[in-house]
Structure 1
Amino acid sequence: MTTRVLVPSGVLGLGFDRAALSRGVAMKPDIIAIDGGSTDSGPWSLGAGQSKYSRAATKAEWRHLMQARAEAGVPLVIGTSGTCGADATVDWMYAITAELAAELGQKLTVARLYSQQPARRIVQALEEGRVTPLTPAPEIDADGLRAMANIVALGGVEQVQAALATGADIILCGRVTDTATIAALPLARGEAAGGAWHGAKIAECGALCSTNPTSGVILVDFDETGFTVEAMAETALCTPHSVSAHMLYENSDPFQLYEPGGYLDVRGAHYTALDARRVRVEGSEWVPGPYTVKLEGARAAGYQTTIMAVLRQQHYVTHAQEWADKLHAFLTAQITERMGLTPPDYTLEFRMIGVNGALGALENRQGQPAEVGVLGIVTAATQEIASEIGKLINPWVLHYPLTEDEELPTFAFPYSPATTDRGPLYEFALNHVMALEDPMSAFRLTVSEVG
C-alpha cells in the first residue's frame, strides 16, 4: 500500500504556487496536510492567544485549500492553528472555515482538536513527578504555572489519528508537532514507521526541501519500506542534497528527532535520486520510548513602550553608542528623581539600529553607516508606568547633547507621537515534557457541521 500526502506549504499564510497545488491535487493524494504554527517570532502569539498571520491572507489561502480538498475528496488537516495552537486560535480557524463553507456552498464535517492545558492539570502532573525539564528550562512551581497566560501541549500522531477517525472532512488541530499531521495517516495505514516520521520531517516545511523553497507544494508517497518526495512546482527539484539537508532544519541533532512516544533515527538512511525531480529515502528507523508531550507556556513579563530617534549628524553617528550610554545614565537619574523609580521597577535599553541592533555586544562587523536609528525600549509592570517613562524621556531622546560644550542637537523622530505603547510583553516560561498514560487524556475533540 502507498499513502500519498500533499503538503501545500510550510505554513498557512506564507503563500504557495497555485499551479503546483493543482498539479498535486491531480495526482490524487490521500490527504492534504499543512502546518499553521511557528515559534519563530517569539512568545507573543501564545501569550496573547492570537495568530501572527493576517486573517485575510489566511482566509484567502484556506479558500484554495478547501477547494482543493473538495476536488480531491480527501481530508484536509491543519496543525497548530493560528500560529500557537491555543484554543482561541483553533476557534479562529473554525470561524474562517465556517465562513468559507457558506461562501463556497460546501457542507462539511469539521473536527477541532484542542491542545490547551488548564494550569491545574500541569500542577497535578508536576506534583506526581510526570513533568520533566528539557535543556534549557526555567524553574517552575504551582504558582508560576497558574500565572501563565496560556499553556499548550504538543500532540503527536495519536491525537491527529483520533481526529481522522471521526471521518471529518477538515481537521483543525491545536498545538501539534510539525510532523504529526503528515505522519498520522501513513502510520494509521501501516506504512513504515521510520519512513513515515522521516518523510514527515522532510515535508514539514513544504518545498524548503527542494531547490525552489518559495514554491511551497510537496508530494510525499509513503510505503512499507520508506518514502519518495517530489516538489510539485515545475521550477522546483528535490535532490538528495536538498532532502537530506532538511534534517538540519530546526533540529539540534541532524540524526535524531524526538516525538511523542519515541524518536526518529536516520543514521542508516540513504537518499537516492530516482530522476531529476524525485528522491527515494529508505533505512530510517523509529525507536519507541515513553509517551511524553512537550509543554509550551507563555506568561506576561511586563508592558512596553518604545521610542525611536534617527541620528544623521556625523559626530553622533560616529559616537552613537557612547551617546546612548551617556543618555541612559542621565535618564536613569531623571526617572528616579521625577518618578521615584529605580531598576528593577522598570528597564530601559537602547538599541543601535545599523550598528549592533540585532546582536548587541556580539556584533563583530564594523562599518560607517550614514545614519543610526536609536530604539529605546521601556519595560515596566504596567502600561501606565511604561507610557509615563516614555513621555518623560522623550525630550532628551530628541535633544540630548553628547558633550556639555556643544550646541543642543535635534535628531529626527520618524513618526508622531514619538512613543508607541506596545502592550503586554510575554516570555516563554515552559520547556518541559509531560508523561501521559493515555495520549488523549490531555486533549479533547469536538466535531461540528458547517455550511
Structure 2
Amino acid sequence: MHNERVDQVKVLSPTGMLGAGFPEATIERGLELGADVISVDAGSTDSGPYYLGASQPKTTRAAVARDLRVLLKAAAGAQIPLIVGSCGTSGTDSGVDWVADIVADVLADEGLDLRVARIYSEQDKDALLKSMEEGRVHALPPLGELRPDTVRSCTHIVGVMGHEPIVAALEAGAQVVLAGRATDTAIAAAYPMMKGMPAGPTWHAAKIIECGGQCTSNPRAGGVLATIDAEGFTIEPLDPTVACTPILVAAHMLYETVNPFEMREPDGTLDVREAVYTALDERIVRVEGSQFHVADQHTIKLEGARVTGYETMSFSAIRDPHILANIDDWAGLMRTMIRQRVEQTIGLSEDKYAFDLRLYGHNAILGDLDPAAGPPREVGVMLLVNAPDQNTATAVAKIANPLMLHLPTADMDFLPSLAFPTSPAETERGAAYEFVLHHVVDSITPTGMFRTEIEEASHHG
C-alpha cells in the first residue's frame, strides 16, 4: 500500500540535473543501500528566460535518454518510484511531453511495464486574470502589483508546484512521475511526506540533496542517499570514495536561498536554526533539529517569460597594444560611432533599438568593480544588438561591422585591423526573452492549479 507508514524513507538523488550524467555504479550502490525512491530534477531558471519563453529544453535528448534508461531500469528492478521534476528545463507542458516521449521509447526498448503520470503546470492566462480580479495574486519583492498586460505578454507561464500533486499521482498508482515546474525540493520531499516522515527533516534533506553530489567532497562523482526518519536524516555519498562532512552539508542551505536559515515552500517554511550537523564517520552526516512552519495560506509561485526583441551578435578581437592601453576610451568612441552611423544610415534613433558592448578580457564580467589595473593583453569585443525585429537588429550589427574591424583610437592616424573569429561576423540569435513574473497565487487547493494524466502501462517484455 502506498500510504502505509514506515520508520524511515531512503531517497536516492543521482545528479543535480537530468542529462548531466552520473556513474551507473552509483545507482547500483544506492539500490544496495535500500533506496525507496529515486528523485531527480530536470530543470532550472539558472540559464535564463529563453528556455521558458521558447519552451525549449537546455539538455540534449541523447543525454536525457541515457540518464533515464539507467534510472528507469533501476526503478523497475527495485520496484520503487522514479520522480522527475521540472521536465524539459522550464516545466512547460511541451517539456513534460518531451520527457514522456523519451520515457516511452526507453520503456519500449527495455520491455518495461510502468505506469507513467504527467503533471502539467502551465497556467491559463484567463484563469490567472480571474485570480488577479479576486485579489489572490501577490507580488514578491522587488516587483510591484501584477498588471493584466504583463500576463498577456508572456509566451509561457508555469506554476511552481509543491509536493502535493506528486503525492496525489503516487497515491493514484503512478510508478514514474513526470512533473512540470516544481520546487527542486518537492521532487525529493514528496515520497517521504506521503510515507509520514516529519516535515522538518524531510524538507531539509530534500534541500541538501537537490543538487545530487554538490554537498559532497567530489561533486563530479555522482549523487547521494538521504535516509529520513522521525528524528532527522542522514546523508551518504553513493561513491564510497567520496565524503559528506557537516560543513559541506550545512553549506548547501546557503545555496540559492535568500536566508541561510529559512526556505519557503508552497505550504510553509523550512527553519534550520536549531539544526545540528554531526559526522557519524568520515563520510556520513546526521542532521537533527530541523523544523517546518506550516503557512496560513498555501501559495504557488508563478514564472513567466516574454519576448523583449530580437538579437544579433557580433564579436571582434583586439591585440593592438595602443588600443588596449586606451581601451575604455576606444569603447566609448565605438558606442558613439555606432549610434551616429545607425542614425545616418537607417534613421534609427536610440529609443528604437539597444546594444551592449562587452569587453571580454577587460571588464565584461565585473564592470567598474574589476580590481585589475593596467592594460589587458588581449580583448574580445562582443556587440549584442536588440531590436523589435530580426532584420533591424542585423542591420545595426552590419552597420557596426566596419567599426568592429577597423575603428582606431582618436589619436591614431591609420586604421587598425581587428579580428573577426567568424564569417559572416554577425550571428542572428532570434527572439530574446525576459522573466517578468515574480508573484504568488493564493491556492484554493494545493493541487488545483495543476493537471495530472496517468497512462496505463502498455509496454510488455
**Which category describes the TM-score, using the shorter chain as reference length?**
over 0.9
Q: Secondary structure at the match of 2:135?
A: coil
In structure 2, give the amino acid aligned to 1:29: A
**Structure 2 residue aligned with 1:71:** 77
Q: Does 1:45 align with 2:72?
A: no
**Structure 2 residue aligned with 1:228:** 234
In structure 2, give the amino acid aligned to 1:96: I
Which contiguous aligned blocks of 4+ residues in structure 1 show a shift greater than 6 angstroms? none
Q: Does 1:324 align with 2:331?
A: yes
Task: Tell me, yes or no, if the aligned pair for 1:158 and 1:184 is still in contact at 8 Å.
Answer: yes
Q: Does 1:350 align with 2:321?
A: no
For residue 404 of structure 1, report the CA deviation from its aligned partner. 6.1
For residue 245 of structure 1, report the CA deviation from its aligned partner. 0.9
Is the alpha carbon distance of 1:91 and 1:367 closer, same or farther for their aligned partners in structure 2, counting shifts above 3 Å?
farther
Q: Secondary structure at the match of 1:277?
A: coil
Which of the residues 29, 33, 49 maps onto 2:35?
29
Which of the residues 372, 377, 399 maps onto 1:370?
377
Give the Cα–Cα distance (whole angstroms) in 1 for the partners of residues 222 and 375 of structure 2.
39
Q: Does 1:293 align with 2:268?
A: no
Task: Tell me, yes or no, if the aligned pair for 1:110 and 1:450 is still in contact at 8 Å.
Answer: no
Which of the residues 94, 97, 114 maps onto 1:108?
114
In structure 1, give the amino acid aligned to 2:431: P
Task: Tell me, yes or no, if the aligned pair for 2:138 and 2:146 is still in contact at 8 Å.
Answer: no
Residue pairs, 1:246-395, within 5 angstroms: 246-289=252-295, 290-395=297-402
Task: Tell me, yes or no, if the aligned pair for 1:321 and 1:352 is still in contact at 8 Å.
Answer: no
Report the TM-score when normalising by structure 1.
0.97
For residue 444 of structure 1, report the CA deviation from its aligned partner. 0.4
**Structure 1 residue aligned with 2:424:** 417
User: Deviation string for 1:369-422 (max 9, x for gaps)?
Assistant: 321000001000111110111112112211122126511111100010000000
> Which 10-residue stretch deviates more, 250-259 or 94-103?
94-103
**Structure 2 residue aligned with 1:121:** 127
Give the Cα–Cα distance (whole angstroms) in 2 for the partners of residues 323 and 99 of structure 1.
55
Q: Does 1:437 align with 2:444?
A: yes
Which of the residues 156, 178, 200 maps onto 1:172?
178
Task: Tell me, yes or no, if the aligned pair for 1:138 and 1:429 is still in contact at 8 Å.
Answer: no
Give the Cα–Cα distance (whole angstroms) in 1 for the partners of residues 109 and 23 of structure 2.
23
For residue 363 of structure 1, report the CA deviation from its aligned partner. 2.2
- RMSD of the TM alignment (CA)? 1.3
Task: Tell me, yes or no, if the aligned pair for 1:123 and 1:142 is still in contact at 8 Å.
Answer: yes
Question: Identity of aligned pairs, percent?
Answer: 44
Q: Secondary structure at the match of 1:441?
A: coil
Give the Cα–Cα distance (whole angstroms) in 2 for the partners of residues 104 and 359 of structure 1.
50
Which of the residues 139, 161, 169 maps onto 1:155?
161
For residue 150 of structure 1, report the CA deviation from its aligned partner. 0.7
Task: Tell me, yes or no, if the aligned pair for 1:212 and 1:235 is still in contact at 8 Å.
Answer: no
**Structure 2 residue aligned with 1:184:** 190
For residue 121 of structure 1, report the CA deviation from its aligned partner. 1.7
Task: Tell me, yes or no, if the aligned pair for 2:227 and 2:235 is still in contact at 8 Å.
Answer: yes
For residue 324 of structure 1, report the CA deviation from its aligned partner. 1.7
For residue 216 of structure 1, report the CA deviation from its aligned partner. 2.5
Which of the residues 131, 135, 140 maps onto 2:141?
135
Task: Tell me, yes or no, if the aligned pair for 2:313 and 2:383 is still in contact at 8 Å.
Answer: yes
Give the Cα–Cα distance (whole angstroms) in 1 for the partners of residues 346 and 176 of structure 2.
55
In structure 2, give the amino acid aligned to 1:100: V
Give the Cα–Cα distance (whole angstroms) in 2 for the partners of residues 341 and 253 of structure 1.
46
**Structure 1 residue aligned with 2:4:** none
For residue 330 of structure 1, report the CA deviation from its aligned partner. 1.1
For residue 274 of structure 1, report the CA deviation from its aligned partner. 1.3
Task: Tell me, yes or no, if the aligned pair for 1:13 and 1:54 is still in contact at 8 Å.
Answer: yes
Residue pairs, 1:397-416, within 5 angstroms: 397-403=404-410, 405-416=412-423
Give the Cα–Cα distance (whole angstroms) in 2 for the partners of residues 139 and 409 of structure 1.
52
User: Deviation string for 1:287-310 (max 9, x for gaps)?
Assistant: 011100111111111110010110
**Structure 2 residue aligned with 1:210:** 216
In structure 1, give the amino acid aligned to 2:342: I
Give the Cα–Cα distance (whole angstroms) in 2 for the partners of residues 92 and 441 of structure 1.
23
For residue 367 of structure 1, report the CA deviation from its aligned partner. 4.7
Is the alpha carbon distance of 1:138 and 1:92 closer, same or farther for their aligned partners in structure 2, counting shifts above 3 Å?
farther
Which of the residues 146, 154, 158 maps onto 2:152?
146
Task: Tell me, yes or no, if the aligned pair for 1:153 and 1:175 is still in contact at 8 Å.
Answer: yes
Q: Secondary structure at the match of 2:340?
A: helix
Q: Secondary structure at the match of 2:115?
A: strand
Give the Cα–Cα distance (whole angstroms) in 1 for the partners of residues 374 and 268 of structure 2.
49
For residue 450 of structure 1, report the CA deviation from its aligned partner. 4.9
Q: Secondary structure at the match of 2:21?
A: coil
Matched residue count: 451
Task: Tell me, yes or no, if the aligned pair for 1:148 and 1:297 is still in contact at 8 Å.
Answer: yes
